A and B are shown apart, each in its own frame.
Chain A
């Protein structure tokens, strides 16, 4: 469970213009987020950019994803800028980050996706391009992100089938192998699937599945 102490420690020195407070079942982080180079304690000209933000961190973080709002009105409210009309920032596809990175601490989120998002916004302001790429909107973006996390081709049926297998604590060996060979998984790509299972554990696979197809 995320504690106020952990959040305060993460922003203490590196983000001196953010303030953290505890609210009902969540932690609020508000103020100015500073975009800087990595591994630079003090840039002679100051930060590259600043964004006024409000962050809502659920106490179940990282199981529940943080919400980030740009509140300074600097980013035009346009889906192509990866922001919703209420300023809600689509920083990343959450489960993709959970599967792709080992360190899910709040500090890691602050220095990873959040920094990439706002550096990206600054870069887009200057050049009209996204420096680290972007996801398609909506469902298509989810599918692409999940296929990336699994390391498979982005085909919906195959993705859903992989996720059903991965949702099981012990993927069923007698199910057909997802490669389409017609053989049972245990006689085909069992090793590969188990490696994927370690990378994308069942709880994350279940959430991916739920978001792709709420009927599941």
Chain B
């Protein structure tokens, strides 16, 4: 469990990126932070592994104040996946994946063995292991990024718009892959996105943020959809435009679900 208690981050230039945030992220669940660009998502995420130091407030992981810990050690115990993969261009795929275990002192051969298994887990062919990142497609690079984030078997996985830069088809594949991996591994995932559909798809809990990291609404996707807390939320999730107002039409004796424009989106199972 990760807990923020009235956490504020003020950058040296005076920008208050996060303003008195209080938030609990339950263990072994996926919490999605969603909000427009500049709402403070990355800052919140990076305060968890102390890449960004909070200005005030408390952040605890499983009841332990993270500011009592060595930041380098803390980071090695938390997986991190970012947009554009952030892979080290001068190291082969396999060496990228073994980075954190090797930093933790695991023997190289042992780490490589485990890394090959991880490539299977994220759906990558083992033959890619000896390639350099620039020799992979964007989607493959993101898979390597996920494998690297999981390599030290961390309890917590931080993901900052990890699928933001790939095309929609690949993104959808990666999302399904993540859902499957999470079902198997049960990590505490903090996932950042500006895409509300992605948030509803992946999140057990969704936290909708306004500027300054202020929480506009927090809950399960169903709770937020069924009862937007404000006009801001309604606009953000598209409910105001009726985008999510589906209705049922009977076609050929079957209940077909159509959206606001009358486009069929599925069939209602009786």
Do A and B truly interact? no
Residues of chain B touching chain A, judged by Cβ–Cβ distance below 8 Å, are: none
